[in-house]
Amino acid sequence: MLKTAQRYFETIRYLKPNQVYYRIRYAATSPKVLIHHEFGGVPNYGLTLVSVPNTKKVLRIDNEGYEFEFLNQKKDFKNAVDWNYLAFGRLWNYNLQYAGFLLQDDIDVHQRKELIIDLYEWLCNARLAPEPYAASLRIINTIRFLIAHNRQLTDHDRLLNAVYSELHFLSGRPEFHISGNHLLENGFSLLLGGHFYNRKEWIKQGEDILCEELNEQILEDGAHYERSPMYHKIILFRILEALSYLNASERLYTQLKNCAEMMLAWLEKMTLENGFVAHFNDSVEGIAPATRDLKIIAENAGIHTVHKLPLGASGYRVLKNKSATLIADVEGIKPDHQPGHAHADSLSFVLAIDGKTIFVDPGVSTYQEGAQRDLERSSKFHNTVTIDDDNSADVWDSFRVGRRPSCKIITDSELRVAAEIVYKTSSSKNVSHFRSFELFEKSIRLKDKINHSPAIGRFYLATGIEIKAISENQVILDGDIAIDFSNVLKISKFIYGYNIGFNKQTDSNAIEYQFDGRCEINIKWD
């Protein structure tokens, strides 16, 4: 373990001055209650919002009470909901606060209204402290509910005033200290709230945040800069949602449209032929909209992908031919100032052969601090190489990163990519790891070179891929896929938990190989 002072220094030295300023400012003025504001105008119920794809049923109501399910965990509340329920962790509670149940048409409109009013009463009575990220998603969901059901609701004022009050809170507390997807959600919420309540100052504030942040956060190759396919898709939907109610003449419209086209291009390249999206960094199924749904929404809005936009700034590379697709991560920890969703997964990769996913990134199952979170962010939980089971980056405390590797791309062509990372381990070893990927018609060649021995590499197989045979220098998989190893000391197999959602795993096969200095691996198929 790094010494505490050194770890903190390595963690905070990348922060922007703006982040430090707002972290101090907000810590000194943390609100405990939502202050009431009276709305005296006429809301814009005529806003058109694109439908949310595959709305999840998160709430079931019966005579015994309320059953909520988030992140594959269920909780029954008898008679009343505990909006500050934390037994399943902070993320579960945030999902409860988002009020996604408002989008469930199988629940009576008035029951939904009473629940959201109850949640707001907790906020106004200091039983639940307002927080900007939860507020942003709750505002959007509640405005959607009000627009869809305003003719059925008999008492608009209480709910209109509650959302109006929350927008006042949010306008004074955008998450500049966190940045990333949090600040974008703040901006989108203020933008929608400004249009709904006809408040020009909120529209301008939302536009200002989004104009500046999208310019920084959407990279030249279309990726969101946190480099998580899951958050990329969430943000892409927010952009498409905003485009559905904005006028084409508004100053933000063109920027949003360009971002959507670029983000679709990146997402297409990161999506395998079978629809599988690699789970790089914090990413897993069941949270973000599916790629196909986002493409349909975009196409219906006349937004098309930029097909010739090459991968570059995000640090991912795709090697592809008629029978195989390999996606490699040849980047370090990015963005420097906001690595909260980053993993120590440099030089990892995923692979599909003949439309079937073979090698996967195991994904994530939790954000709660502890051994499982540490494992899922670690180098040894990815398709890369480790020394002493140490991490190429010091990932710690759920969302923090201390020391980071330097990364250099050495070869970057259509069918071959090679890169080297250099880092210092927790035991002060200076490690250099070179890896190359080369794609042929019916094979892939990997070369590893590392300056310490012994080194351990791991390959995580997709669920259902069986290991038919293992010898001293070869592994045979289903479909007669052969993995030939040169210069290895030992090959073995083990079982790991592949994450099919938060708090939900299934046993899958994995391969471990040990080598000294250099190793060559050839993956072949017919």
User: One digit per residue, pLDDT tens: the chain, 526 residues?
Assistant: 446 899 999 999 999 999 999 999 999 988 999 999 999 999 999 999 999 998 889 999 998 899 999 999 999 999 899 999 999 999 999 999 999 999 999 999 999 999 999 999 999 999 999 999 999 999 999 999 999 999 998 878 999 999 999 999 999 999 999 999 999 999 999 999 999 999 999 999 999 999 999 999 999 999 999 999 999 999 999 999 999 999 998 889 999 999 999 999 999 999 988 888 999 999 999 999 999 999 999 999 999 988 889 999 999 999 999 999 999 999 999 999 999 999 999 999 999 999 999 999 999 999 999 999 999 999 999 999 999 999 999 999 999 999 999 999 999 999 999 999 999 998 889 999 999 999 999 999 999 999 999 999 999 999 999 999 999 999 999 989 999 999 999 999 999 999 999 999 999 999 999 999 999 999 999 9
Position 264 scores a pLDDT of: 97
Tell me which residue of 471, 472, 476, 473 sits closest to 509, measured CA to CA: 476
CB atoms inside a 10 Å sphere around CB 86: 10
Rounded Cα distance, 141 and 157, in Å: 17
- Cβ atoms of 463 and 328 within 8 Å: the answer is no
Interacting residues of 526 by C-beta distance below 8 A, sequence separation 6+? 442, 480
**What's the N-to-C CA distance of the chain in angstroms?**
46
Rounded Cα distance, 447 and 62, in Å: 59
Q: Which SS3 state, helix, strand or coil, does residue 326 take?
A: strand
Domains annotated on the chain, with CATH: 218-307 (no CATH), 316-524 (2.70.98.70)
Rounded Cα distance, 447 and 418, in Å: 9
Rounded Cα distance, 467 and 256, in Å: 46
| Angstrom distances, CA of residue 348 to CA of 187, 189, 193, 218, 375 | 33, 36, 41, 23, 15
Q: What is the largest CA-CA distance in the chain?
A: 77
- CA-CA-CA-CA torsion for 117, 121, 127, 131, nearest 10 degrees? 70
**In this structure, what token pair is assigned to residue 460?**
């995580």
| Angstrom distances, CA of residue 215 to CA of 222, 225, 250 | 11, 11, 17
- Cβ atoms of 180 and 342 within 8 Å: the answer is no
Tell me which residue of 504, 370, 502 sits closest to 95, measured CA to CA: 502
Tell me which residue of 3, 20, 21, 22 sits closest to 12, measured CA to CA: 20
- Cβ atoms of 195 and 245 within 8 Å: the answer is yes
Q: Where are the alpha helices (DSSP H) in 13-106?
A: 17-28, 90-97
Rounded Cα distance, 395 and 379, in Å: 10
- CA-CA-CA-CA torsion for 81, 84, 88, 93, nearest 10 degrees? 90
Instruction: Give ∠ CA 327-333-334 in degrees, rounded to 5.
Output: 90
* DSSP one-letter code for 103: G
